[in-house]
Amino acid sequence: MKQVHNFNAGPCVLPKEAINNAIEALKDFAGTGMSVIEVSHRSKEWQAVMDETEALWKEILNIPDGYKVLFLGGGASLQFLMVAMNFLEKKAAYLETGVWAKKALKEAKGIGEAVCVASSADTTFNYIPKGYTIPTDADYFHITTNNTIYGTEIHEDITSPIPLIADMSSDIMSRPVDVSKYVMIYGGAQKNVGPAGVTFVIVKEDALGKVSRYLPTMLNYKTHIENGSMFNTPPVFSILVMNETLKWVKRCGGLKAIQKINKEKADLLYNEIDRNPMFVGTAEKESRSVMNICFVMAEGYKDKEDAFMAFAKENGMVGIKGHRSVGGFRASLYNACPIDSVKALVECMQKFEKLHK
């Protein structure tokens, strides 16, 4: 198998142990003689996986009593709508920090009154706004904690005077989180907690049921709580890989240990970007993401962008091209990205510098 350094933004690198164990389950799931993609989701063997996966979420994130963990389809994009339908009664407030936050706000505006509390669109979302006031008459305040396209991140749990909801698609399980500060946390799994195809929802049960509108059955969180995330057939394979990935997180020592190595990886790459005259980071330093490191060629070297991309590819770097809307480069350092890959990218940047001095 060809060895590469995978910096894809999602779907992305996953723990090798999780992949290998999932392969075995594709052959024979839990001794049933059937593949995991053949077995009934109503079987006791599959129910055990669902129960264990929810228990792992609760243990690793230290989720308090009163919260449910759901495994749904539709990606975070469907949650943009479901959040507003289930929580917006009079008004909602949103922090606009990137494309996905903007899309979430758009869906809320289609349901009712939704206001943008603050935005960093004025500088192409290269910073996290500060000094804003959260309106206390809103039903909830929605944030996107990490912005994959622009490489910015909210690094700490904020304190909100109203119910707080967060899209944590791309930084969940990268650091400890005080779940009690949120009424809901959601995200697509295809970064730190599994492959594409399943969406996680952590929701405070007593925060639901407060809107007067009719909620379509599939868009009502209570439906999925009452049916243990199996009102319809769940994405079994994606959930199985999530289960194996969470076990890996636990074996690594949990979120404090994961956070430490993630910071080491990010510091290593950011230090090279700041040192190397050929490159410059695009996010303000205080807002820099630990998960997605975005950078461009510095002034005087912009004509070398294609050359560096080709050089990086020759040296085994995969997925470092920036999002098509912004260009440049992006290295996503999710949990399963090994520090050796980051060292290899840094070495690649240093070699390129020497070749073009």
Catalytic machinery residues: 100, 167, 191
Distances (CA, A) of 300 to 46, 280, 303, 305, 330: 57, 12, 8, 11, 20
d(CA 170, CA 189) in angstroms, rounded, equals 8
Residues 6 or more apart whose CB falls under 8 angstroms from that of 338 comprise: none
3-state secondary structure 110-145: CCCEEEEEEECHHHCCCCCCCCCCCCCCCCCEEEEC
According to DSSP, the residues that pair with 185 across neighbouring strands are 166, 202
Distances (CA, A) of 12 to 6, 16, 221: 7, 12, 28
Distances (CA, A) of 133 to 84, 129, 216: 21, 11, 33
**How many CA within 13 A on the CB side of residue 328?**
22
